[in-house]
Structure formats: structure tokens, C-alpha cells
Structure 1
Amino acid sequence: MVNTLIVSGGSEPGRDLLERYYKQADKVIAVDKGLNYLSKYGFEADYIIGDFDSVDTKVLADADQDKLIKYPSEKSMTDFEIALEKAIELKSDNIYLLSAMGDRMDHTMANILLLKRLATLDIRGYILDENNLISYVDGEIEIDKNDYKYLSIVVLEDTLVTLKGVKYTLDKEKVSFPSSLTISNEIVDDKGYIETDKFSLYMLTDHKENI
């Protein structure tokens, strides 16, 4: 199994989160400003990708120049997607994506939806921050009960959803797009079971604020 960590340029991850996934990574990819976050704690990247318009100039100068893969600022895909393609090229089985969310909602939404690219290749992708984990279900999946409080399913088209081992169960329930029916559930058994007939996102969160 090849585990790849991608650290992008969104909201800065805390040290504990970054260190946890850094230690279990076989390959590490820094995306532009993500190099700042890794360098702050003395962590090194195997590949440094981007147009380097947001990384600190000293951090970039101190990096191993042989690891730099520079792209022009005007291009047909984001630095994040380029890094994702690199992780695919590395034959990753699991890709952990830190700092993939932030103040730029356009980038955040695009990054989340790019998880479908991984689904088509049977690669498991996880977008994480201090409060959330986002991944996908394309068929069926079991999720261990863990420290997250809430489990939500976000369908992207009309979808049949089955949920077991959770507070609010469903049995091949048609969930229309858009809908909040499958938001803020909770895993109550040792494992939660999700089955969908269409690609959907699942989200785990321990943040308590409602909007």
C-alpha cells in the first residue's frame, strides 16, 4: 500500500494533524504554500509542485532544488490538481490531502469534487482539517466509529442511500439533489455502513456549530 500526503496552500494545519499523516506517508508532495507548512516543523517533501507564487522565498531557496516541479501561473488546471495527478502517477493507494480547504471557496469546492477523479481509479482520497474528514462512497463502505461526532452524506445527484449502524437508518431511500436529509447523522455501532448507487461524498466532523 502506498500512502501519499499532499499538503496544499489552504488553511494551515496544526502540528499534530500534519505530523500524524506525515509519519504514515510513503511519499510527500508540497503544493506551493504547503511547503511553508512542512518547513515550519522541519518536515521535508519528496516533490514540490506549483507556480510558487505564494511560498516564502527563503523557504523555497532553502529547499532541495532537484525536488521542484515548476508550472506557469497561467495553466489549465490548479496546482492542487497537478499534485493529485502526481500522486496518481506514484501509484498511490491512499491520498491524504491537508490544507485543501480555506478562504477561497472556489478552490475548496473544486478540490472536494476532484475526489471523484480518485474514485474512478479506485484510489481512496481524504481531505482533512482539524475538524473534518471528507471522502467519498461509490457503492458501499464501512466506517469505524471514531472521535468524530457527526456523519453526513452529500449526494450530488438523485441517489439511493442505505445507512446502517447509525442513529438514523435508511434502506435504499431515494435522496434527491439537493437535500439535507442525510446531514448530521451519528455512528452508534462499532461501524457505520453506507451504500449508494451514485457517487456521493461522506463527511465526518466534530465541530458543533450549526448554520
Structure 2
Amino acid sequence: MKVLIMTNGEYGNLEWYQEHKEGFDQVICVDGGTGWARKLSILPNWVVGDMDSVNSDDLKFMEQQGVQFCRYPSQKDLTDTQLSLQLAEKLGADEITIWGGTGSRLDHTLHNIYSAANLVKKGKTVRFDSPVLSIYLVKDALKLSGEIGKTVSVLAIGDGASGVTLEGFQYPLDNAEIDSMWQYGISNVIVSSPQLISVASGILAVFYYRKLP
């Protein structure tokens, strides 16, 4: 099952999302993500959160459309995004795409990536998508068809990664180890297609930039 999670982060060019909004079995809006859903004419299946950032008009519209709500108190241990990830897992998601999960709040971005990595450990496929950047969380292998000349960074998540192999890049790796406290996979460049990224142990965050900021 393919699940789309729409958070209330930064989106950018909405035309890109219009071109990529089909093909999901379930759509979950995280609180104020409902506003982005309405802008994109997407009717979600679920709205999750404490409703502190939902516009009252958007809230009323979703209620009138029969969208299901999972409401939580504002004072809680988990973030609304974590609760949405839990719901996606409960629904039986195999592939999860997250929109709006990155942005200028670096703490939120890191928190979202690490929270999503918890599902990757359980065998789920998770990626963050936007017009300029895709972040793939990789537990075993990723075959990427990126454009030659584009920038890709590879970071180890958690305790580090071993058996890391990169093919199709200016700086290849062969069965390497990456210490999460001393990374060296930043700003690699695609030189051939397709690209292969694999890891024997650990989780990698692969940042593919369509356009550098």
C-alpha cells in the first residue's frame, strides 16, 4: 500500500505536486497540511494532530467531506508527524511518501528523518519528496536514475553504516564504513546512469538534489 503524508512544512512549486499526486492508496494530512491539500485539490482520507495549525475553513471543509480525524491533545509526547507515521504503519503501508517534511526548521527536519527511519528499520520504504530535493531512506539498496551532473549526499543514520557501496558517482565507494559522527558522503556528483547505493548494515539517508539551494 502506498501512503502519502502531507505535513505543514515547506512545499515550493505547487505544479510539481500536481504532477505527482496520483497513485496513492491513502492520504494522511498532518494538522495544517490540510491547507496544502486543499490548494492541490487533494481530499485526504485522514487528518491527524492536535489541530493547532489547521485553518478553521479547512477544518470545516474536511469535516463536511467526511474525512476521518485522529485528534490528539496539544500536550503529548509524540509529534503530529510521528502520529501520522504510526497511522500509516497501522494502515499497512509498504511505501510512504512525505511532502512538506523538510524546511528551514532544521530540528523538525532531522526529527522527521529519524522518525521515518524507525519505520525503515521495520522494512517500510520511506522517502521525502519536493520539487528540488528527494530524500531516500535506504536499509539495503537503492537504484537511482538521477540526472548526470546532479548532486547527491549520503549520510549514515543512527549508529553508522557498514558495507556501503556507491556506483555511478564521481566519488565511488566499495564496502565502506561511514561513522555517523564523522561523515564523508557529502556533495557527491552523478557521472553515469543508473546509480546504485547499497548498505550491508545500518540506514542511509540519500539526498538527491534536482536543484541546489
| TM-score of the pair, normalised by structure 2 | 0.88
Shift of 1:72: 0.7
Unaligned segments of structure 1, at least 5 residues: none
* Alpha-carbon distance between aligned partners in 2 of 1:118 and 1:100, rounded to the nearest angstrom: 15
Counterpart among 161, 173, 176 of residue 170 in structure 1: 173
- Pairwise CA RMSD: 2.0
Shift of 1:147: 7.8
Query: CA 1:78–1:56 in 2, change beyond 3 Å: closer, same or farther?
Result: same
How many residue pairs match? The answer is 208
Query: CA 1:101–1:123 in 2, change beyond 3 Å: closer, same or farther?
Result: same
Q: Structure 1 stretch 47-56 or stretch 196-205: which is displaced more?
A: 196-205
SS at match of 1:199: strand
Shift of 1:39: 0.9
Unaligned segments of structure 2, at least 5 residues: none
Shift of 1:137: 1.7
Shift of 1:117: 1.6
Other-structure match for 2:195: 192
Shift of 1:148: 8.1
- The answer on whether the counterparts of 2:153 and 2:208 sit within 8 Å (CA) in structure 1 is yes
Other-structure match for 2:72: 71
SS at match of 2:188: coil
**1:4-83 paired onto structure 2 within 5 Å:** 4-64=3-63, 66=66, 67-83=68-84
Other-structure match for 2:206: 202
- The answer on whether the counterparts of 1:162 and 1:195 sit within 8 Å (CA) in structure 2 is yes
Specify the code of the residue in structure 2 equivalent to 1:175. I
SS at match of 1:6: strand
* Alpha-carbon distance between aligned partners in 2 of 1:56 and 1:90, rounded to the nearest angstrom: 26
The answer to whether residue 119 in structure 2 is matched with residue 109 in structure 1 is no
| TM-score of the pair, normalised by structure 1 | 0.89
SS at match of 1:22: coil
